[in-house]
Amino acid sequence: MPRVYVVGSLNIDSVVEVERHPQPGETLMGGDVATYFGGKGANQAVAAAAAGADVSFIGRVGDDSGGHDYVARLRARGIDASGVTVTPDSTTGHAMIAVDARAENTIIVSPGANARLGLADLTPLEGMQPGDVLLAPLESDLNVIAEAARMARARNARVVLNLAPFAELPAAVLALADPVVVNEHEVEQLERSGVSPQSLLVTLGSAGSRWGSIEVSAARVERVVDTTGAGDSYCGTLAAGLAAGLDARAAMQAASDAAGRAVAWVGAQQD
């Protein structure tokens, strides 16, 4: 069965609930701090595995309790974590997340060991086969992401790039992806950059998602608790569907349904 390879970040998330987000220079009182496992790369890998894909993850954690716990967590989810390097003299990445009363979030990321991910870490991609899928958000070094995309395409594997957080990649790198996934804010930044990917999938929140001429409605959601993991759930499930041979519409529908479920719990990954 084709495999999903994810290159990306692993973070420990600290989440605090606030009535509203503060203005610059303003201090607000929030609720208790809750700690969760996060990082866009790991979130997407967990989502892909939950959708039934065989998943291999490439990333870095610090040589600390959070890092060791994270590796164990990935393995417990059935994810091949042999490509996760425990990095001496570095901390595991950390994200500080505030969630307001409308379930909207703001996030600050301290990359820690994620910033040490390098080209040498991509060795597992040498085993990619035709039909496999590379999935990569942009919380890692962009040169590493670009090389991962080139390695995947050289092996006739599919590349799915999620431009989150947004960063400008060369047009030649974006051209390797099918699709490039962006949300409604990132697509505006992409348009301003002057680059037009050949294959572009735009997620539009409650308005659904669009991939070229294909449009899929958003899942019906009874109650929104936290939107933190919705985009990552979408991307991971999309990659799993494409690896399983689903057509674009079916993969998008599965991804939309997963994103709808993801807003029903606090944190990026469901325990």
Q: Which residues are tagged catalytic? A: 232
Asked whether the beta carbons of 76 and 53 are under 8 A apart, the reply is no
DSSP H helices, 78-223, are 142-154, 171-174, 184-193
Q: How many CB atoms lie within 10 A of CB 254?
A: 21
Reduce the DSSP state of residue 230 to 3 states and report it.
Answer: helix
129's CB contacts (< 8 A; 6+ apart) are: 2, 3, 155, 156, 157
Q: Radius of gyration of the chain from Cα atoms?
A: 17
192's CB contacts (< 8 A; 6+ apart) are: none
What crossing angle do the helices spanning 248-262 and 40-50 adopt, rounded to 10°? 110
In one-letter notation, the amino acid at residue 19 is E
d(CA 222, CA 212): 29
Q: How far is CA 129 from CA 112, 151, 199, in A?
A: 31, 11, 22
